[in-house]
Amino acid sequence: MAAPAKSTDASITVTTVSTAENVPLQYSLILDHLIGGKRQIKDLNPTVMGALPSPQKTEEQKMIERGMESCAFKSLIACVGGFVLGGAFGVFTAGIDSNVGFDPKDPLRTPTAREVLRDMGQRGMSYAKNFAIVGAMFSCTECLIESHRGKSDWKNAVYSGCITGGAIGFRAGLKAGVLGCGGFAAFSAAIEYYLR
């Protein structure tokens, strides 16, 4: 008796499987509705999604946005920022330097306030020019490399640091250019690692 029961169960199972293959499953109907041609395209309006509505940008706003994202604008901002920070750094270092305003021909003479301020201004202007050039070069090359690569990652800063350091150091020779490239690239990599 036990043997015929097994054969009957097998025939029932086969029959059930054959009828289940002909009837579409419920989840396939749901997937067909969600992914198939019956799906309606929904407007992804921010107000529907729970955010505040944002008005469409005008052509003037788009033009200003494109201008602010350009490499020339970024370089100009870096140049101005470098000039200001370099000037402040130069005046600060001149203020703590004990040799500011001293005349090498007459070292025993005490410098006047005007001479000290003139030397501080000259050092501040020198630092400001150097920082402005370095900032503009770095920012411009980083923006150009980012535009060329189409990626915004840490490698852009490293490549830009190498180009900037190499260009500045190359004035003193090939060895100085290579050392400048490596030094600026390493410094840029460290800054990117710390900031990201």
Give me the tens of pLDDT residue by residue for the chain, a chain 196 residues long: 444 444 444 444 444 445 555 655 677 777 777 776 655 666 666 666 666 667 788 889 989 999 998 999 999 999 999 999 999 999 999 888 877 777 778 777 888 888 888 888 999 999 999 999 999 999 999 999 999 998 888 899 999 999 999 999 999 999 999 999 999 999 999 998 898 7
DSSP 170: G
Give the pLDDT score at 22: 61
CA distance 80 to 133: 10
Give the up-direction half-sphere exposure of residue 72: CA atoms within 13 A in the CB hemisphere. 2
Give the pLDDT score at 98: 77
Give the pLDDT score at 7: 45
CA distance 90 to 84: 10
Answer whether 136's CB lies under 8 Å from 82's CB. yes
CA distance 70 to 62: 12
Helices (H) and strands (E) in the chain, counts: 7, 0
The pTM (predicted TM-score) of the whole model is: 0.65
If one counts every other C-beta atom within 10 angstroms of the C-beta of residue 87, the result is 20
- What distance, in Å, lies between the first and last C-alpha atoms of the chain? 75
